[in-house]
Amino acid sequence: MPGTLLGQRTFPAVPKFPIEESSLALRHDVRPHQYLGVLGRAAAWLGTETGEAELWVHPLKLADGFRLAFTIPDYLEPIRGTDVARTVEVRPELTTITYTHATFTVRQHILAPLDVPGLLVLLDVETLRPLEITASFQMVFQYAWPGSLGGQYVFWSADHRAFVQSESLRRRNGIIGSPWATRASEHPAHALPDAPNTFVIPVDTVRARTEYVPIAIAAGTADRDTVLAIYHGLLRDAEALYREKRAHVVRFFASTTQIDTPDDELDLAFQWATWNLEEGLVCNPDLGCGLVAGWGPSGTSTRPGFGWFFGGDAAINSFAMDATGQWDAVAQGLRFLARYQREDGKIPHEISQAAAHIPWFTEFPYAYYHADTTPYWIVAVWRYWRASGDDALVRDLWPSIDKAYRWCLTRDTDADGIIENGPANLGAIEVGALGEGIHQDIYLAAVWIQALEAMAELADFHGDEARARDARTVRVAARATLNDRYWREREGHHAFGILLSGGTNDNLTVWPATAAAFRLFDDDRADRTLTKLATDSVSADWGARILSTGSPLYDPMHYNNGTVWPFVTGFVIWGQYAYRRPWSGYPLIHALKQMIFDWARGRHPELLSGRYYRPLDTAVPQQLFATSMLVAPVMHGLLGWEPDAFEHRATLAPQLPPHWDRVVVRNLRVGSSTLQVEIEQTPFSQTVTVTREGPELDLQLVQSMPPGTLTHGAFTSPLSGEGQVQTRAGQRETQITRTLPLTEVVTTFDLSWTGGLAVEPPTVDLDPGQQSTGLRVLDFRQDGSPTARRWRLTVEGQRGVRYRLRLHGEPLSRLEGAEVLRTDDATTTIGMTLPPGSGRTTTSIILHGTR
């Protein structure tokens, strides 16, 4: 390979290699100040779309303000890269920023290798004039928060054509440079400079036609020779590292769940969301590999968003990852947390990237200060085991599981079955008046009750009958407390919490949705609470507010008292589907989908304003428990997918929007089996075709027919005498549940019916900065007896606004409170104008059929 002799060192060239097209590529004009992250397991580029970036190699922040500038003979002053950055193309394996000028185009390919502790920038240069590229950055060379180093210094190594960062003991080192660089800024020896570090690359236009101009970044808590070897390996193996990352991406999407729906944006958002969760696996050289919570620039600090290890976030994200088959990352995350379990059984809430170098677990207050993390971890182990069938992990972690359970038990001091915030610490609320005087909150209660179910099944598997019996006994008491003491009949919803005084905090909050997602409420009371959560007082056009707008504590900018969190929005969606209310769940899926394209491309922000569709300036721009709450409700809610590898079975209970005609779901994994499911539907039929690869298993298929269905027929091919069929009719739907072994490779389930009417969930195409004005469906059911052919549609919207809504099924003859605008085959479009005035109002529309 051709090279350049610089001093006594030969640097291999980096020949140009093709950057493969990606079906996931998001290409758009750059937006100043918009976050752009490029992530590997050992390093992170955290910057903006205009090219500035922080450089991280865990656990070190090497530099701030990395940027490029360009000098041409016609200009006295350098041309700043931020001024000529025009487009950005985000891909899972590589991101490209394109800088354009009348005399040059430079494509900056940014690669975070899969496992190497470093970053690589490859500049593809086309120029009409001689061109110099200047790379500059402000040295930081500091441990991640709250660690710190002293004695840092930097110097330019002409031999390596790189800045060498180090500290007095030379045990931590960083290298940033380029073999094309010919000169660099000078700094006082053994000092941390105030001025930026700068090196200059005169572009050899002949070489640039066939070679990339590389910039490599390497670091580690290792000796200098080791880090230099990494630096030179990045340059030597540039193409191989790209190919490795690309191959990993291809393998990832070939083995995890993918959806193909009539909504191409949802399909793409779902793929990006699953990839985001894969990027949550981070390997720290001192701590091991675990799941981090999110990413964002640290600014003048050393806190990279939430780019360290969070136990609760890992557990929450695993609910999505289990369902999509991302099992290896989940298993590593669960084992990582068990490794740092406290002696009394509490699972860590958060672990800094610098934890190995400071007394993190003994002198800092953050490691174990959340209560929900420990029961969440038990639930996460259980759900992972049910999906994957990984018996070995449960056996290995059983001592930690049992210890975690015993810790939880000691946090119930009043024997009502619910662990308490006081003895256990924080649950739903970290700051603000909503959490004042709380004895126990409904969020922590729900997670604990779900952990009790998990513990009972895990103990059964382990053969500990006494522990299983104990968990089930406590669960009965805890669920009774949840359904009785938390219910507020006068308010018509579940309370936020029980107070130290013995009273209740009756604010309408989003937090009961957690219990709804786990189906812990009695049906009628769940429905009343979920109806309130579906109103605009909680569910804005872009997601669910933490606290109702009707509360005197509501503040649309407050972290815990009014902002919209995608994380809790996911629980609302999940809960709406769990209680068979898809018309209130699907619009929020539509909203979370749009966030992936509206803000940091391919990412979800941590939280948004409760008043306007825009993230808070303080929000972490890539928050993984926000992202997972697009995936989990799609999998567990819209598709109703629940794998159970231990019992060799799975449940599929789809609640598709009635305007969708076909859905294909690939790589539904349960244990060693993989299913592909194709669902085709019309207003009067649904056909589900299941293709199995791997061992046989039992499938429970739950299909729903719309309210008002008159007759139906259910058929299975091939016929099986071993199956079970159950029918349940109600005012909102008629359910057909079929359970049978998938003995054949392909099994088809046909269902057809006559009559019935379904409402298409109303969605809002969001514009950044807008306020919430959309229509909500709060209820849709048959009104009266089946022979009456009458339905009641309850909606909420802005007073004085005219809305349209579509219904699918039998034709309508007459409407009360609306009018028919159009009839097209089995689709009827209706219009309604809500009463004049200000604010929101709720109204019911009566629809009469023709039969």
Element at 4 (helix H, strand E): strand 3-6
Residues paired with 712 in a beta bridge = 753
Phi and psi for 698 in degrees, rounded to 5? -90, 140
Amino acid at 553: L
**What does the pLDDT read at residue 498?**
97
Q: What are the pLDDT digits (tens) for 634-653?
A: 999 999 999 999 999 999 99
| Distance of alpha carbon 572 from alpha carbon 687, whole angstroms | 28
369: three-class secondary structure by DSSP:
coil
- Please indicate, yes or no, whether residues 171 and 81 belong to a single structural domain of this protein: yes
Q: What are the pLDDT digits (tens) for 95-116?
A: 999 999 999 999 999 999 999 9
Q: What are the pLDDT digits (tens) for 473-514?
A: 999 999 999 999 999 999 999 999 999 999 999 999 999 999
Element at 623 (helix H, strand E): strand 622-623
CATH assignment at residue 692 = 2.60.40
| Distance of alpha carbon 727 from alpha carbon 717, whole angstroms | 19
| pLDDT confidence tier of residue 675, bands split at 50, 70 and 90 | very high
On the question of pLDDT at 10 being above 80, the answer is no
| Distance of alpha carbon 60 from alpha carbon 678, whole angstroms | 47
Residues paired with 61 in a beta bridge = 56, 142
Cβ partners under 8 Å of residue 349, min gap 6: 310, 311, 312, 366, 367, 368, 369, 370, 373
**Edge-to-edge strands, sheet with 641-644:** 641-644, 649-652, 698-705, 734-741, 724-729
Range of the domain at 823: 783-849
Domains in the chain, number: 5
Given a contact cutoff of 8 angstroms between Cβ atoms, the answer to whether 611 and 622 are in contact is no
Does residue 567 lie within any of the structural domains? no
**What does the pLDDT read at residue 722?**
54
| Distance of alpha carbon 508 from alpha carbon 486, whole angstroms | 12
Structure tokens at 798: 């802005």
Residues paired with 199 in a beta bridge = 135, 184
**What does the pLDDT read at residue 153?**
94
The percent of residues in the chain predicted with pLDDT above 90, rounded, is 92
| Distance of alpha carbon 820 from alpha carbon 807, whole angstroms | 10
Element at 652 (helix H, strand E): strand 649-652
- Please indicate, yes or no, whether residues 126 and 272 belong to a single structural domain of this protein: no
On the question of pLDDT at 5 being above 50, the answer is no
Alpha carbon distances (Å) from 126 to 74, 379, 547, 614, 654: 17, 54, 54, 38, 52
On the question of pLDDT at 721 being above 70, the answer is no
Q: Which of 757, 775, 810 is the last residue of a domain?
A: 757
**What does the pLDDT read at residue 1?**
32
- Please indicate, yes or no, whether residues 41 and 89 belong to a single structural domain of this protein: yes
- Please indicate, yes or no, whether residues 727 and 788 belong to a single structural domain of this protein: no
Alpha carbon distances (Å) from 73 to 79, 131, 204, 345, 798: 11, 8, 15, 67, 61
- Please indicate, yes or no, whether residues 296 and 277 belong to a single structural domain of this protein: yes
Mean pLDDT over 341-368 rounds to: 98
- Please indicate, yes or no, whether residues 323 and 363 belong to a single structural domain of this protein: yes
Cβ partners under 8 Å of residue 246, min gap 6: 20, 93, 94
Closest Cα to residue 187, out of 199, 201, 197? 197
Cβ-based neighbour number of residue 819 at 10 Å: 11
Does residue 327 lie within any of the structural domains? yes
The percent of residues in the chain predicted with pLDDT above 70, rounded, is 98
Does residue 612 lie within any of the structural domains? no
- Please indicate, yes or no, whether residues 356 and 498 belong to a single structural domain of this protein: no
| pLDDT confidence tier of residue 191, bands split at 50, 70 and 90 | low
| Distance of alpha carbon 510 from alpha carbon 629, whole angstroms | 14
**What does the pLDDT read at residue 787?**
78
Closest Cα to residue 775, out of 745, 755, 808, 798? 798
SS3 string, 324-364, reads HCCHHHHHHHHHHHHHCCCCCCCCCCEECCCHHHCCCCCCC
**What does the pLDDT read at residue 8?**
47
CATH assignment at residue 66 = 2.70.98.10
State the Cα angle at 386 between 577 and 328, rounded to 5°: 105
| pLDDT confidence tier of residue 7, bands split at 50, 70 and 90 | very low
Element at 49 (helix H, strand E): none
696: three-class secondary structure by DSSP:
coil
- Please indicate, yes or no, whether residues 281 and 196 belong to a single structural domain of this protein: no
DSSP-derived secondary structure letter, 41: S
Given a contact cutoff of 8 angstroms between Cβ atoms, the answer to whether 308 and 293 are in contact is yes
| pLDDT confidence tier of residue 189, bands split at 50, 70 and 90 | low
Does residue 574 lie within any of the structural domains? no
Q: Which of 210, 230, 249 is the last residue of a domain?
A: 249
On the question of pLDDT at 9 being above 70, the answer is no
Alpha helices in 119-237 (DSSP H): 205-208, 224-236
Does residue 401 lie within any of the structural domains? no
| Distance of alpha carbon 15 from alpha carbon 208, whole angstroms | 9
On the question of pLDDT at 190 being above 90, the answer is no
Burial level of 400, CB count in 10 A (0-12/13-18/19+)? buried
Q: What are the pLDDT digits (tens) for 272-288?
A: 999 999 999 999 999 99
β pairing state of 649-652 and 698-705? parallel
Closest Cα to residue 606, out of 377, 380, 256, 307? 307
Given a contact cutoff of 8 angstroms between Cβ atoms, the answer to whether 556 and 563 are in contact is yes
Does residue 580 lie within any of the structural domains? no
SS3 string, 443-500, reads HHHHHHHHHHHHHHHHHHHHCCHHHHHHHHHHHHHHHHHHHHCCEECCCCEECCEEEC
- Please indicate, yes or no, whether residues 185 and 96 belong to a single structural domain of this protein: yes
| pLDDT confidence tier of residue 719, bands split at 50, 70 and 90 | low
Given a contact cutoff of 8 angstroms between Cβ atoms, the answer to whether 36 and 95 are in contact is yes
On the question of pLDDT at 699 being above 50, the answer is yes
On the question of pLDDT at 515 being above 70, the answer is yes
Does residue 131 lie within any of the structural domains? yes
- Please indicate, yes or no, whether residues 712 and 802 belong to a single structural domain of this protein: no
| Distance of alpha carbon 570 from alpha carbon 513, whole angstroms | 9
Amino acid at 550: G
Given a contact cutoff of 8 angstroms between Cβ atoms, the answer to whether 472 and 452 are in contact is yes
More confident residue, 793 or 851: 793
- Please indicate, yes or no, whether residues 273 and 361 belong to a single structural domain of this protein: yes
Does residue 525 lie within any of the structural domains? no
**What does the pLDDT read at residue 726?**
86
Q: Which of 249, 267, 295 is the last residue of a domain?
A: 249
Q: What are the pLDDT digits (tens) for 775-822?
A: 999 999 999 887 789 999 999 999 999 999 999 999 999 999 999 999
On the question of pLDDT at 557 being above 60, the answer is yes
What is the pTM assigned to this prediction? 0.97
Q: What are the pLDDT digits (tens) for 594-631?
A: 999 999 999 999 999 999 999 999 999 999 999 999 99
Q: What are the pLDDT digits (tens) for 282-328?
A: 999 999 999 999 999 999 999 999 999 999 999 999 999 999 999 99
- Please indicate, yes or no, whether residues 141 and 231 belong to a single structural domain of this protein: yes
